[in-house]
Amino acid sequence: MTQNLPNQRTHAVVIGCSLAGLFTARVLSDHFDQVTILERDVVNDHPESRRGQPHTRHLHGLLAQGFRIIKDLFPDLEDSLVKGGAIISDMGEAIRWYHFDGYKKQFTSGLHAVSVSRIFLEWNIRQYVTQLPNVTIQSSCAVRGLAVNDERTRVLGVHVVSGNDGAAETTLDADLVVDATGRGSSAGKWLEHLGYDRPPEDEVKVGVGYATRLYRRRENDLVGAKLVMISPTPPTQKHMSFLFPVENDRWIVSAGGWLGDHPPTDESEYLEFIRRLPVSDVYDVVRRAEPLSDVFTYKFPSSLRRRYEKLTRFPEGYLVLGDAIASFNPIYGQGMTSAAMQVQALDRLLRQQAPLTGLWRPFFQRIATVVDIPWQMAACEDFRYPETVGKKPAMTDLTNAYLTKVHRATQHDPVVYAQFLKVMNLMAPPTSLMHPKIVWRVLRGS
């Protein structure tokens, strides 16, 4: 193996060709001569849900902050999505959202989001990345471990097995290896093998499960809004359903619940589950719509955060990001945006810090800051249910008592709702909801 110079930027390897991996490769293409993405599954040139992506067939939300970052990384993406049939709209106007026993007030918010299937979004981004002259994707390629120097202090590349038989192992040299393989990342196991500690973990057990189906979308299916969100009022309600328009004139509908209270997959029982929600907006559409797919299920046992920022020893030339750092309750739609924000932090750090030596420490510290807010937000909401198990953030009950009043204020006050949307979309800190002007409006409304 070539003993790479400690701080040269000749070749970077990204493990994983999902969205986090594609975002990472795009950023690294500005900092390295060559970038190689390694993907275990076959990658075809069309929208698809690969074997290693069980969640991609389900509804995904891209928050406004994530959409803004992605558009900066991929300047032509918005046009490509719209031409392909994605729907871009003002969040305040487009969403008919029933929550805490009432509809949030629809208004012009100025926050724009895209409604598109995850596989179509990923395919468009992958097309952009593959057109970069210094990025290569190698699929059907499994990484078996990290290649390191004799002292085990620096990662020099990865051990790779290619093809269906997995017989031939090769070593791919790299100045930087980034693990973007998701929640199932082998990073902890690899670190232990090299004599390092695994990162400590925080886990919040939520027992979320949902079922998704595609339907034919027709004009006038939904009047007065473009999408519907029916959220439960904890702790007495646990069921939800979202209806979003996606490309090819389709609806994607997900229905689910917390703490093991999951929807059935039988067609009539699935419809009955949706019918029994507090309001009938989703049911009124799907009971008349033509189904275009089977009912797909997905279970998410717990939110999981790996605290790499707490490690005091870590090999040089190796980083971890995306769901491999933190996987959130998917109901809140934070995953793609969190990955985009993490990659943005990596880009800024590479521009500020020329040496790769010592990069891991400030990187994980910055990623921890990125993850803190969505993690706290999701955990606080999940701990509205007393059955939730895990480390409860400080002041959760007090925070939730106030946020209940905020939610109810959003049903009639566009100023409060506008600020809530900014917080929800990770464009303003949660503390902004405690601004005296907002508090006065919240308390006045309650």
Q: How far apart are CA 212 and CA 270, in angstroms?
A: 10
**What percent of the chain shows pLDDT beyond 90?**
90
Written as six digits, the tokens of 29 are 């293409």
Segment 229-246 shows an average pLDDT of: 97
Residue 162 confidence (pLDDT) above 90: no
Look at 42-46, 169-173, 196-200, 268-272 and tell me which has the smallest mean pLDDT.
42-46
pLDDT of residue 5: 64
Q: Which pLDDT score is estimated for 28?
A: 98
Task: Please check the confidence at residue 7 and state whether its pLDDT lies above 90.
Answer: no
- Predicted structure pTM score: 0.95
Beta bridge partners of 313: none
Could you give the 3-state DSSP secondary structure of residue 205? strand
Pair 49, 42: CB distance under 8 Å = no
φ, ψ (nearest 5 deg) of residue 78: -60, -45
Residue 413 confidence (pLDDT) above 70: yes
What span, in angstroms and rounded, lies between the C-alpha atoms of 401 and 404? 5
Q: Which residues contact 59 (CB under 8 A, 6 or more apart)?
A: 212, 242, 244, 252, 253, 254
Pairing of strands 250-257, 135-138: unpaired
- 27 in the Ramachandran plot: left (φ > 0), alpha (ψ -120 to 50) or beta? alpha
The pair of three-digit structure tokens given for residue 35, joined into one six-digit string: 């970038």
* Amino acid type, 436: P
- The pLDDT of residue 144 is 95
Sketch out the chain's domains with CATH numbers: 11-59+123-200+307-380 (3.50.50.60), 204-301 (3.30.70), 387-445 (no CATH)
Mean pLDDT score of the chain: 95
Residues 219/223/227/228 CA torsion (nearest 10 deg): -130
Q: What is the pLDDT of residue 1?
A: 52
Amino acid at 413: D
3-state SS class at 125: helix
Report the alpha-carbon distance of residue 240 to residue 263 in Å, rounded: 10
Calpha distance 91→434 (Å, rounded): 22
Structure tokens belonging to residue 362: 């400030």
Average pLDDT (8-15) is 96
What is the token pair recorded at 70? 């992605």
pLDDT tier for residue 164 given thresholds of 50, 70 and 90: low
Amino acid 287: pLDDT: 96
